Chains A and B, each alone.
Chain A
């Protein structure tokens, strides 16, 4: 198929030529998803650890809800944030709809349950092993949290990266709350959707390749970090 082969060549030329439009879109994508993953991790890591350590009424319901929300459809997350941020919504006065901030909020909602639920599992396992020793040393549960998070760090890196992968790959939520505005809220996934529907296959393909490369890079880095650390620390 010469047309597609041609599109592929043009896509490579766009990437290698550092096309400014393409670069701008990539930069915004990375910026939005990194902010989202950072905020979500800061909230979800301690939350997951706390859920692993404390038993309280309603805990089971929260765990089930988090596990279920791991599969939250991005468009639903987007719709929720849209309703909150739209002019008539409870947070409408801040005028955040169709800004990168709104996109970060939507992605945080999307990946927070993933990080929290997986963190709970990992910390619960580690706590089984460490509980007696740490209790013997005189640690309260609150003081165990940083220790457990640090010692589970290898597994948690993968968890956080899973969150990043989900955030950078989803399209529904950022499309709804961002609006895919050129130069303002256009990210890789929304641009791919738009360019494909316009028939501008080279740019769509170029963005697709960059997205794929980014995800590969992040996962390769995680694998290397994990393997070396596992070999070194036992």
Chain B
């Protein structure tokens, strides 16, 4: 039935940022950042609004090009997928949205339906396969976006505030999915400003403020003994300015 291996990958290449900055209309929005993301970890990118979380992930995923510095993978560029805050679904059925992603990845036509159905099942969407994707609820659409990402068997998965518009049940479903990706060997880079969510999911935390990297430490250290004033204030729930 399912010819997909339990693990997509054994080793994820490291992403190295060397003085990476992003400037828009003369205004520096991010960086310069020096950073090395390695290992199959679950990294939570945290920080207040406008800290540059989305920007950092879009640069890393290759949706944007940095204005300065160098950003490169050590080794071959890994398969990547990204799940956005507001999922973008094509105007067709849930199933067709998944077979589309498989077609883009040159999976032979004969195998697409089977794989897509398997992914729908995995994310609890089997009953919705014929429904137009764009009339599904926000939570269902986000699960469909995760199923679509799953089918590309990513070595790295970026998630940009994937739960910020969802109710608790849908948040749980997304977090379970993130753990399932990680169990399959996918490196997770996810932005969030929900501290509880970060405590549940993070192996390590990358804390940004006003476009600058403030801290990048493992989660236990970050939550118990943050070294920066900004991170301490953020954890206490104060307004970080």
Contacts and interface: CB of A to CB of B under 8 A. Distances in A.
B88 A130 contact: yes
A233 B92 contact: yes
A137 B101 contact: yes
Nearest to A154: B91
Contact of B134 (A139, A143, A154, A234): A234
Would you list the 7 A-B pairs with minimal beta carbon distance, nearest first?
A234-B134, A133-B88, A234-B135, A136-B82, A233-B132, A151-B91, A233-B91
Given A232-B132, A234-B134, A138 B91 contact: no
Given A232-B132, A233-B132, A233-B134, A136 B91 contact: no
A139 B104 contact: yes
21 contacts: A132-B63, A132-B82, A133-B84, A133-B88, A135-B62, A136-B80, A136-B82, A137-B81, A137-B104, A137-B152, A138-B104, A143-B104, A147-B90, A147-B100, A154-B91, A232-B132, A233-B92, A233-B135, A234-B132, A234-B133, A234-B134
Contacts of B90: 130, 147, 151
A130 to B, nearest CB: 6
B88 A135 contact: no
Interface string B72-100: 00000000111010001011100000001
A182 interface: no
Interface string A106-141: 000000000000000000000001101101111100
B41 interface: no
Interface in A3-51: none
B105 A138 contact: yes
Contacts of A154: 91
A84 B135 CA distance: 52
Contacts, number: 43
B61 interface: yes
A151 B93 CA distance: 12
A41 B59 CA distance: 38
Nearest to B149: A136
Size band of the interface chain A makes with B? 10 to 19
A138 B61 CA distance: 11
Given A137-B101, A143-B104, A233-B134, A132 B91 contact: no
A80 to B, nearest CB: 39
B113 to A, nearest CB: 18
Nearest to A143: B104
A154 B10 CA distance: 45
Given A136-B82, A233-B92, 10 more contacts: A129-B88, A130-B88, A132-B84, A135-B63, A138-B105, A147-B100, A233-B134, A233-B135, A234-B132, A234-B135
Contacts of A136: 61, 63, 80-82
Interface string B15-35: 000000000000000000000
A136 B82 CA distance: 6
A126 to B, nearest CB: 9
Nearest to A147: B90
Q: Which of B90, B91, B100 neighbours the largest number of chain A CB atoms within 10 Å of its CB? A: B91
Nearest to A130: B88
Contacts of B84: 132-133
A233 B133 CA distance: 8
A49 to B, nearest CB: 16
Contact of B91 (A137, A143, A234): A234
Contacts of A133: 84, 88
Interface in A139-156: 139, 143, 147, 151, 154
A158 B205 CA distance: 51
